[in-house]
Amino acid sequence: MRENRLVGAQIGCGAFAREQHLPNMASMGDVCLKYCCDPVAEQAASAAREYGAERPVADFREAVADPEVDFLTIATPHDQHLPIIQSAAAHGKHVFCEKPMAMTMPEAFEVIRLVKHSGIKFCVDLNRRMAPSMKALRERVHRQQASPRHQPWRYVETDREELPEETHTHLLIRIQDESSSYRMIHLDPAHGGGQILGESVHWLDLACWFFAPARPVEVTAWGGVRMNHGINLKFDNGDSATLDFSSCGTFDFPKELYEVTSRAALFRNLFFVENRYYGIPGLEKEVFPLQHDDLRSAIPGEGFDAFLAKSQARARQAGENLRNVPQRLVVDKGHRNMMRGFFEAIRVNGRTPCDEYCGMQATLLALLAIQSIKTRSTLPVLMEEWRPAIV
């Protein structure tokens, strides 16, 4: 720590680190970025110049060995996470790790062991649970579950009792993505593991957070293990979540849509910028600011329609590649809140917003989904796997 500021090192300085980790740390006055580490020397050097890091280095072990460094943020290929975490734990450095935390269950158990024995704080950036719009959506659903309210014109059968399944809640997650953006390293089974391990861990974790303290007890999946797939989670209280992931879509429209049905009401989250509620009297839509909005002056306003207009205006400037457009347009998916929660846990010796057990559970569900596709079967989530006994 330096003058009450946490001192950190960014491990991996590629596109995602520049999109989230580095600008988020730069915006926090109680954090000091000392190292930018990347095996590509120019990548480390340019990131250090842009975000004010003192030392660009190729070998992350130089940063880990520095006694002044308090924490690492990891944004490397998935298969490189474990050796970095091992080194960090050996030197007592706290870790903020990109998803997936691990690619296999033995790796996940090893991470839990390392964190437990070293006493470091560990956080996995399964960020959707920290998005302001998603937290508001869950709160609205919980209110409806606790004290249902309905439109006065709602049709109700009065000559029968309510059936048990009518009290359940279902979460539907629709992802339409554009596969040409996927780097081969993410699809390589040894380095990235495919989209279930690399991306769908986000939504598997979100469903577990959304329905907690209920836990998933069954996984049924279909499609392919590399790209297009669907996954259904059944929870021990009867609630359920279904993910529909397509990589055949377009960046011309927002990637994510969430719908929750519960107690005769519908709750919709439109790409983290707007929540709409149906079936509940007097409940107006909610809009949420973007994390970065360089088009706010040209196209004022918030909410889904405004975001769509800004996104399309930005795309018209793209020419042959959207990456060429300088204006940033980034919705708030919870990355900054997750990182802030990690730093707060270090300062107060508390629990991080998404700890090593959450990271392990997301990996477990992803691996079960892959196995379900391969065997064309529904698989149980065993308690001893969900909450393992690790010495």
Nearest-angstrom CA–CA distance, 27 and 161:
55
- pLDDT one-digit tens code per residue, 206-227: 999 999 999 999 999 999 999 9
The pLDDT of residue 320 is: 66
- Per-residue pLDDT band for 179 (boundaries 50, 70, 90) equals confident
| 82, 191: one domain | no
| 171, 307: one domain | yes
The answer to whether position 76 is within a domain reads: yes
pLDDT at 5 over 70: yes
- pLDDT one-digit tens code per residue, 251-298: 889 999 999 999 999 999 999 999 999 999 999 999 999 999 999 999
| 235, 287: one domain | yes
The answer to whether position 339 is within a domain reads: no
The answer to whether position 388 is within a domain reads: no
| 296, 370: one domain | yes
- Return the CATH number at 278: 3.30.360.10
The answer to whether position 196 is within a domain reads: yes
- Per-residue pLDDT band for 164 (boundaries 50, 70, 90) equals very high
- The stretch 315-319 carries a mean pLDDT of 78
| 66, 141: one domain | no
| 186, 243: one domain | yes
The pLDDT of residue 321 is: 67
| 279, 192: one domain | yes
- Return the CATH number at 114: 3.40.50.720
- Per-residue pLDDT band for 3 (boundaries 50, 70, 90) equals confident
Chain mean position to CA 90: 27
Nearest-angstrom CA–CA distance, 124 and 81:
11
The answer to whether position 279 is within a domain reads: yes
Q: Which two tokens stand for residue 367?
A: 């691996």
| 313, 202: one domain | yes
- pLDDT one-digit tens code per residue, 335-384: 999 999 999 999 999 999 999 999 999 999 999 999 999 999 999 999 99
- pLDDT one-digit tens code per residue, 16-56: 999 999 999 999 999 999 999 999 999 999 999 999 999 99
Among candidate residues 383, 359, 103, 357, the one with its CA nearest the CA of residue 218: 383
| 168, 208: one domain | yes
| 242, 178: one domain | yes
- pLDDT one-digit tens code per residue, 348-360: 999 999 999 999 9
- The stretch 187-195 carries a mean pLDDT of 86
pLDDT at 156 over 90: no
| 120, 189: one domain | no
Residues 6+ apart with CB under 8 A from 34: 7, 8, 9, 53, 54, 55, 63, 66, 68, 69
| 224, 243: one domain | yes
- pLDDT one-digit tens code per residue, 70-105: 999 999 999 999 999 999 999 999 999 999 999 999
The answer to whether position 391 is within a domain reads: no
- pLDDT one-digit tens code per residue, 108-142: 999 999 999 999 999 999 999 999 999 999 999 99
The answer to whether position 329 is within a domain reads: yes
pLDDT at 326 over 80: no
The answer to whether position 380 is within a domain reads: no
175-190 in b/e burial notation, b at 16+ Cβ within 10 A?
Answer: bbbbeeebeeebbeee
pTM of the model: 0.95
Our count of domains for the chain comes to 2
What domain range is 371 assigned to? 130-152+160-333+366-375
